[in-house]
Amino acid sequence: MHAATGPIILRFRREGEGHDRRSGYRGTSDAFGEITLTCPLPRRQPESLVSEVRGTLIPTATYETRGIHTEAADLPTLNRSTLRLGDATVHMRRNRFGLTLRGRALRLTYGGDPYRLRARNRKQFVLSRQADSEDPGVTVTVKLSGIGSGKKVQVHVAGRAVAADIALAVLFAGVDRAPLTRGGAVRAALSRSTRLVMESQA
């Protein structure tokens, strides 16, 4: 079902204690009901990091990264990752050597529909579902802002979205998107390397 939807604001939340402590964002959409992003889920196994979005009228989506590099990460990364939306796997590809933001964009395919996820900057990105002969497509802009308990995720939709569009866009607010910009890729690599060295010496 396609639906026009107004702006969605998800506000930061934290709950639980110890190993069950989780944080993320929660809000309500006029068209898609309550939406909850957990980023990341509590760790259940080593070398794995998972973010999840679920809601009243959207399919549950998970983004999992595996590998030793997750031990030095706060969020799942774009490397060695699997994206699932409902029961389906979403195929992903990107050009790590792209020279522009458009060239470094992440390309997704779900249910035969092509998507493109492009960074605008460190805190903002755009998910676009391409138009075809039967559908004009949609553009979802996501912006993260605030600090501490005042953090929030703002979602703006241009076009008529389906539930999968919203689930995918919100989910990527809980993923480390740094490699989608050249500067971010360098900073993320240096940060992970430093943390791995420090943890190995602890």
- Distances from the Cα of 133 to the Cα of 105, 114, 126, 137, angstroms: 24, 13, 22, 10
**Residue 121 dihedral angles phi and psi, to the nearest 5°:** -165, -165
Give residue-wise pLDDT tens across range 174-196: 999 999 987 655 555 555 455 54
CA distances (Å), origin 3, targets 30, 91, 118, 187: 10, 25, 23, 38
pLDDT in tens, 21-54: 899 999 999 999 999 999 999 998 899 999 999 9
The pLDDT value recorded for residue 133 is 81
Q: In which element (H, E) is residue 165 found?
A: helix 163-171
Give the pLDDT confidence of 133-147 residue by residue, as tens digits: 888 999 999 999 999
Q: What are the structural domain ranges in the chain?
A: 8-201
User: For the ranges 131-135, 157-161, 162-166, which has the lowest average pLDDT?
Assistant: 131-135
Identify the pLDDT of residue 34: 98
Q: What is the pLDDT of residues 54-85, one digit of tens each?
A: 999 999 999 999 999 898 899 999 999 999 99
pLDDT at residue 199, as a whole number? 52
Give the pLDDT score at 20: 80
Predicted confidence (pLDDT) per residue in 78-100, tens digit: 999 999 999 999 999 999 888 88
In angstroms, rounded to a whole number, what is the distance separating the alpha carbons of residues 97 and 104? 7
pLDDT of residue 97: 84
Rounded Cα distance, 166 and 57, in Å: 10
